Amino acid sequence: MVSHSPGSGHNSIPKLTRQQKGKLGEEAACRWLREQGYLIMEQNWRCRRGEIDIIASDGDLLIFVEVRSRSGAGKYGTPQESVDIRKMKQVRSTAVVYLQQSRGRELQIRFDVVAVMLDAAGQIVTIEHIENAF
């Protein structure tokens, strides 16, 4: 599961790939949302417009969740800071397609961000759930 780049020190921790960090972050976000009482309806829902990491519900509320994972704030900032205007527009337009296809009862919708900080070994350091993020 963890990649190791040749030439790195013998006792260094293998570096996680971007995909591995993303998967760990999404798994942690789903666990956390379930613990808070949310029902996970979809994970990695895709259409031609893009992908939504998690679609959850809480009563009559449908929540589109963008998950961002990082291992260290460093030069790239916090996970939640990485959700830029382009990403917000993409998630919103993808949500429109989901809503058109599901044709369910009228629901309130919300866009959240779950920011997951990981340590170098991929262990969860913090999870921050930002409701109504955009």
Task: Answer whether residue 1 is part of any domain.
Answer: no
CA 123 to CA 118: how far, in whole Å?
A: 5
Residue 93, SS3 per DSSP? helix
Write down the pLDDT at residue 74. Answer: 60
For 6-28, what is each residue's pLDDT tens digit?
Answer: 344 445 667 888 888 899 999 99
**Cβ atoms of residues 118 and 20 within 8 Å:** no
* Domain of residue 76, CATH code: 3.40.1350.10
Parent domain of 67: 18-130
Write down the pLDDT at residue 2. Answer: 41
Average pLDDT, the chain: 86
* Statement: residue 98 has pLDDT above 80: yes
Task: Answer whether residue 23 is part of any domain.
Answer: yes
Task: Answer whether residue 2 is part of any domain.
Answer: no
Count of domains in the chain? 1
Task: Answer whether residue 54 is part of any domain.
Answer: yes
Task: Answer whether residue 81 is part of any domain.
Answer: yes
Bigger pLDDT: 3 or 24? 24
Task: Answer whether residue 125 is part of any domain.
Answer: yes
Task: Answer whether residue 6 is part of any domain.
Answer: no
Nearest alpha carbon to residue 83 among 119, 111, 118? 111
pTM equals 0.83
Place of tokens 């959700």: 83
Count CB-CB contacts under 10 A for residue 104.
9
1-10, 28-37, 125-134: least confident range: 1-10
Task: Answer whether residue 83 is part of any domain.
Answer: yes
